[in-house]
Every structure is written in structure tokens, then in C-alpha cells.
Amino acid sequence: MSIQLRYAARCEAAGRDHNEDNFLVDYNLNDDTWGFKTDEIISLEGKGSLLVVCDGMGGMNAGEVASAIAIETIKDLFDHKRLTEEIISSPKNIQQYIYSAIQAADAAIKKDAKENPEHEGMGTTIVLVWLINGKAYVGWCGDSRAYRYNPQNGLERLSHDHSYVQELVDAGKLTEELAFDHPNNNIITRSLGDPRGKAIPDVKEYDLYDGDIVLLCSDGLCGCLRDNEIAQVMSQNNGSMQECRDALWTADEAAGWHDNVTILLAQVTKGAPTAPMRSQTGEKALSNSAVLRKKNSKLTALVGVLIVIIVLLTGVFAYMHYASKQNIESPSEEVVVPDSANQEQVLPTLEEQPNISEPQAIKEQQPAKEKNTAPKAEVAKPTPVAPPISTPKEEEESSAAEERKPVLTPIVEQKITDQNEREATEKTNDTTEMK
């Protein structure tokens, strides 16, 4: 049984004043007729079917001319008379023919720009799919994209952008999510008409499966809707290609489109093998390289978190070490307690004897006076004894008592002392006479 297909397409200015996009759909390369009917089911036979999208660049320098030249060149090269049995006999020859056809379109654009100075600087992207022999051969140059949606496996990209931000993603310097909103995501690294050198397209081969919907689009769609958003729309609107096309168009407009928009769809209704289960699940099926980039991004994030934790712990330990060092360098006031066993006990001086009155101290320091030659009874004088060391509380009470005593001058104190001595002498003499 041959593979059955149905198609839908739309190309308009959309978010701009004029349209620089262009496209081509030929559901049957076996004859001279070109075109298709929306949702008409046809059989894929012989030389197959072709879909092409071009996104012109150059604005006032005729970007729409460049895209039109590319479409006309491809159309001419895919005429059924040019597609010999040798070309379609092997995958290698088919891929080589696509590669050569894209380079031929590049040469035609450069030739026109050289002959028409007003067209200088024009260029275009290109993406095409040749459906033949149960395969999808995809060729592209630039950032127009080819996707495949399958209800069992979700959405996957069949092309790989030739753009500045895609190179950043490939190098692991940017994630796919951040690339979508990158301010330089409109810079492409390859295109047709680039005067710096010959165009270098990429070509890949994919198997076709029942339920596959091949989507070709300019960046007016994939630059406004993320892949998961495109997948969601296609998953909910795949009953017909017209329904799917219109749903994508409406979603793109609602998202605030800002460029020309081209959408081409081809759905495999039957006749192909059942799609094998992919290892990735969900609405967006990622390529192996995308999975690897995602794992690398997670690993990078984990390493970053570990580095932050190590830095924080290092800071904490450094602070604790610094605080400890400060405590060692600035000790509290030391209190030296002398060794009582080795310390000689010294009697306190006058100033250190708060409990001895000043008159008493003077009296003790004076030598004994000779009163008469007559013998007299000896009067025992008190031997000075070092007062006990007072506690702070006793010192405070003694100090308070001293404050309450009358204050005597040294002269008055001396007189009192002399009078006391005379009285003592007189008593002694009286006692002697009585004997």
C-alpha cells in the first residue's frame, strides 16, 4: 500500500506591511502540474512530493525578490523531466541533489544582485522537504524550520537553525528557553545570497510514520510561538490540515506576531509504519543533542549551587576564626593573686591602719618622758598589734564610724596627751607619799 497524504498551506504578510516570504507545494512530482488542494488525500508515488519555504531578507533591497528567485530555481530543478531514475534511486543521490539545488538557488540570487545594483544585499533562507520512497529528506540554509509532529511522540525539529543564538546553545552557553527571547535571535549565520561565500546547506533523512504531520514554517511562526506551544496546538487540532493550519495561524496572531508568516503542512494518513515509541515523552520531543544540552545545563546549575554553598561555609568559618583570634588578642583584665605561702606578712603602715586613731599612733611613736627622779610605778603600755585585715564591709562600717568622731587638730590632741601624763604622775607621787 502506498503512503497517503493531505496538505494545507498559508503565506501572508501577517505582522508586516509587505510579504517577503514565499513557498511552493507540489503534491505530485510525476507530472507538469504544480499545486495542491487543501486536505485532498493523494498517494505518494514515483518521484514523490515537495514542500518549500523561503524567508526573504533585505527590506528595501528586495528580500521578496530573493525568496522568489529561490522558489523559481527549486521549481525548475524539481521538474519531473529533471528527476531521473538515477537521482531518485538512492538516499545518497537524493541528498546530494537537494544540496546542489539549494546551492543553485544561492548562485541565482547572487547573479541577479550583481546584474541589478538595486538588489544588492538581498538574501533569503530556505527549508524544503522532499517526501519520497517512504522517507522525508530535509534540506535547509538559515533559520526557517522543519518539524514533525506525531501524536505518539509529540513534536521534534527536523532542522537545526543556522543562527548566532543556536551556536550559543550548541556551545552550552545558552539554554533553548533563553535563546527564544535573546535580543540577537534574528542573526543568521547562513543564507542564500550571502556575498561572503557559497551557501552551505544541511540535508538529513527521516523515516515517515502513520500520523506524522510535517510542518514547514518561517520564523514568523516559530519565532513567536515556542515549540511546546506549537505542539499543544497541533495535538488539539489534527483532525484536518486546514483545522491545524488555522489554529496555528490564530495562535500566532494572538501571541502578537511581528513578521511575515508561512505555514505548510503535510499529514501521513495511512500506508506508513507505526511510529516507534521515543525515549522522550510529552508534547515536545527533544533530539539527543537537546537532551544532552539539558543534562549539561542541570549539571552546570548543580555545580553552581555547590560552589555557592562552599563559599558561604568558607565565609562562616573565616568569621568564626577571626572572632576567636580577636578574643585571644584582647583578654579581659587579669587579677593576680599572690601566693600566700611565699608572701611575707608585712604589718600595715599608718596609712594602712584605718582602725587606729591618729592620736594613738602619735603617742606610740613618742619616746617615754622622764618625770622626776623619784621612783614611780611602771605603767604598762599597750604593745602595738597589727590589726586584722578588714573585709570590704568592715572597712565601710569603720569608715562611717570615723566620720562620726569629732575631728581634733594635732595641737589639741597633744595637749590632751600631756594632761593625761601629768595626772598619771601626780597619782603616782601621792601613792608614794602615803607609803
What does the pLDDT profile of the chain (435 residues) look like in tens digits? Answer: 799 999 999 999 999 999 999 999 999 999 988 889 999 999 998 999 999 999 999 865 789 999 999 999 999 999 999 999 999 999 999 999 999 999 999 999 999 999 999 999 999 999 999 999 999 999 999 999 999 999 999 999 999 999 999 999 999 999 999 999 999 999 999 999 999 999 999 999 999 999 999 999 999 999 999 999 999 999 999 999 999 999 999 999 999 999 999 999 999 999 999 999 876 433 344 444 444 444 555 666 777 788 889 888 888 878 787 777 666 555 544 444 444 444 444 334 434 444 444 444 434 444 444 444 444 444 444 444 444 555 555 555 555 545 454 444 454 455 556 666 676 666 665 555 554
What pLDDT sits at residue 375?
42
What distance in Å separates the CA atoms of residue 257 and residue 14, rounded to the nearest whole number?
7
CATH for 3-286, options being 3.40.710.10, 3.40.50.2300, 3.60.40.10, 3.40.1450.10? 3.60.40.10
What pLDDT sits at residue 321?
76
What distance in Å separates the CA atoms of residue 150 and residue 416, rounded to the nearest whole number?
129
What pLDDT sits at residue 423?
67
Burial tier of 132 (Cβ tally within 10 Å: 0-12, 13-18, 19+): buried
pTM: 0.66
Is the dihedral angle over the CA atoms 35, 41, 45, 49 positive or is it negative?
Answer: positive
SS (H, E, C) the chain: CCEEEEEEEEEECCCCCCCCEEEEEECCCCCCCCECCECCCEEECCCCEEEEEEEEECHHHCHHHHHHHHHHHHHHHCCCCCCCHHHHCCHHHHHHHHHHHHHHHHHHHHHHHHHCHHHCCCEEEEEEEEEECCEEEEEEECCCEEEEEECCCEEEECCCCCEHHHHHHHCCCCCHHHHHCCCCCCCECCCECCCCCCCCCEEEEEECCCCCEEEEECHHHHCCCCHHHHHHHHHHCCCCHHHHHHHHHHHHHHCCCCCCEEEEEEEEEECCCCCCCCCCCCCECCCHHHHHHHHHHHHHHHHHHHHHHHHHHHHHHHHHHHHHHHHHHCCCCCCCCCCCCCCCCCCCCCCCCCCCCHHHHHHHHCCCCCCCCCCCCCCCCCCCCCCCCCCHHHHHHHHHHHHHCCCCCHHHHHHHHHHHHHHHHHHHHHHHHHC
Residues constituting the chain: 435
Q: Tell me how far CA of residue 86 lies from CA of 28, 68, 102, in angstroms.
A: 18, 29, 19
What distance in Å separates the CA atoms of residue 275 and residue 364, rounded to the nearest whole number?
126
What pLDDT sits at residue 304?
78
What distance in Å separates the CA atoms of residue 341 and residue 397, rounded to the nearest whole number?
30
What pLDDT sits at residue 350?
38
φ/ψ of residue 187, rounded to 5: -85, 120
What pLDDT sits at residue 279?
64
Domain boundaries, the chain: 3-286, 358-434
Residues 6+ apart with CB under 8 A from 5: 27, 41, 42, 43, 44, 49, 131, 266, 267, 268, 269
What pLDDT sits at residue 377?
43
Cell of 233: 496546538
Q: Tell me how far CA of residue 423 lies from CA of 186, 382, 430, in angstroms.
A: 128, 18, 11
**Cβ count near 219 (within 10 Å):** 23
What pLDDT sits at residue 185?
92
What pLDDT sits at residue 416?
58
